[in-house]
Structure 1
Amino acid sequence: MTDYRSAAADYLATRRAMGYKLVYQGQMLAQFVAYLDTVGAEHLTINHAVDWAKQPSSAKRTWWAVRLSTVRAFARYLSAFDPATEIPPAGLIPAPSHRIVPYIYTDDDIAELLTAAGRLPTVHRADTYQTLIGLVAVTGIREGEAVRLDRDDVDLQQGLLTIRNSKYGKSRQIPVHPSTVEALAGYAHRRDARRYRHDGRQHHHPPSSTSFFTSTTGTRLLRDNVSTVFPRLVRESGLAGSGHHRPPRLHDLRHSFAVNTLIRWYRQGLDVEQRLPLLSTYLGHVAPKSTYWYMTAVPELLELIADRLDAIEVQP
Structure 2
Amino acid sequence: MRRNLGFKSEAPRYSLLAFDAFAFKKGLTTINITRELAEEWCGRRPDEATDTWSHRNCFLRQLSIYLVNLGYDSYIPSRVFGKHDNFIPYIFSDQEIQALFEACDSLVLFDKHARSEIMVMPALIRMLFSTGIRVGEAANLLNRDVDLDHNYLILRNCKNGKDRMVPISDSLAETCRQYRKYRTLLPDNSDHFFVKLNGCKCLANSFYLWWSKMLKIADIRRRGKVPGPRLQDIRHTFCVKSMVQLAKEGKDLYYILPILSTYVGHQSLAATDRYLRLTSQMYPELLSQTDSICSYIFPELKYRPND
- TM-score, structure 2 normalization: 0.79
Please report how far the alpha carbon of residue 176 of structure 1 lies from its aligned counterpart in structure 2 after TM superposition. Answer: 0.6
Please report how far the alpha carbon of residue 16 of structure 1 lies from its aligned counterpart in structure 2 after TM superposition. Answer: 1.4
Structure 2 letter corresponding to 1:86:
Y
1:239-291 CA distances to partner (integer Å, 9 max, x unpaired)? 45235833222222222111111211222334444433332332223565542
Instruction: Report percent identity of matched pairs.
Output: 27
Counterpart secondary structure, 2:227: coil
* CA-atom RMSD in angstroms: 3.3
**Equivalent residue for 1:246?**
227
Please tell me whether Structure 1 or Structure 2 has the larger radius of gyration of its CA atoms. Answer: 2
Task: Decide which moves more: 121-130 or 93-102.
Answer: 121-130
Matched, 1:62 2:57: no
Counterpart secondary structure, 2:117: helix
Structure 1's unaligned 5+ residue stretches are 1-13, 195-204
The structure 1 residue matched to 2:82, chosen from 72, 95, 100, is 95
Q: How does 1:267-306 map to 2 (within 5 A)?
A: 267-286=248-267, 288-295=269-276, 296-297=278-279, 301-306=283-288
Q: How many residue pairs were aligned?
A: 290
Counterpart secondary structure, 1:168: coil
**CA distance in structure 2 between the partners assigned to 1:255 and 1:52 by the alignment:** 36
Please report how far the alpha carbon of residue 54 of structure 1 lies from its aligned counterpart in structure 2 after TM superposition. Answer: 4.8
Matched, 1:215 2:196: yes
**Equivalent residue for 1:125?**
117
**CA distance in structure 1 between the partners assigned to 2:127 and 2:117 by the alignment:** 15
Matched, 1:135 2:127: yes
Cα distance change on mapping 1:284 and 1:311 into 2, 3 Å: closer
Contact 2:253 2:290 in 1 (8 A): no
Task: Decide which moves more: 67-76 or 303-312.
Answer: 303-312
Task: Decide which moves more: 224-233 or 278-287.
Answer: 224-233
Counterpart secondary structure, 1:67: helix
1:46-96 CA distances to partner (integer Å, 9 max, x unpaired)? 444444455641022222001221222223334456824322222xx3323
**CA distance in structure 1 between the partners assigned to 2:206 and 2:15 by the alignment:** 22
**CA distance in structure 2 between the partners assigned to 1:288 and 1:192 by the alignment:** 40
Structure 2's unaligned 5+ residue stretches are 301-307
Cα distance change on mapping 1:285 and 1:62 into 2, 3 Å: closer
1:120-169 CA distances to partner (integer Å, 9 max, x unpaired)? 74595122233222211110112222222111111011001112232433
Cα distance change on mapping 1:268 and 1:135 into 2, 3 Å: same
Structure 2 letter corresponding to 1:57:
P
**CA distance in structure 2 between the partners assigned to 1:235 and 1:192 by the alignment:** 31
**CA distance in structure 2 between the partners assigned to 1:269 and 1:40 by the alignment:** 64
Contact 1:151 1:212 in 2 (8 A): yes
**Higher percent of residues as helix:** 1
**Equivalent residue for 2:152?**
160
Structure 1 letter corresponding to 2:263:
Y
Structure 2 letter corresponding to 1:303:
E
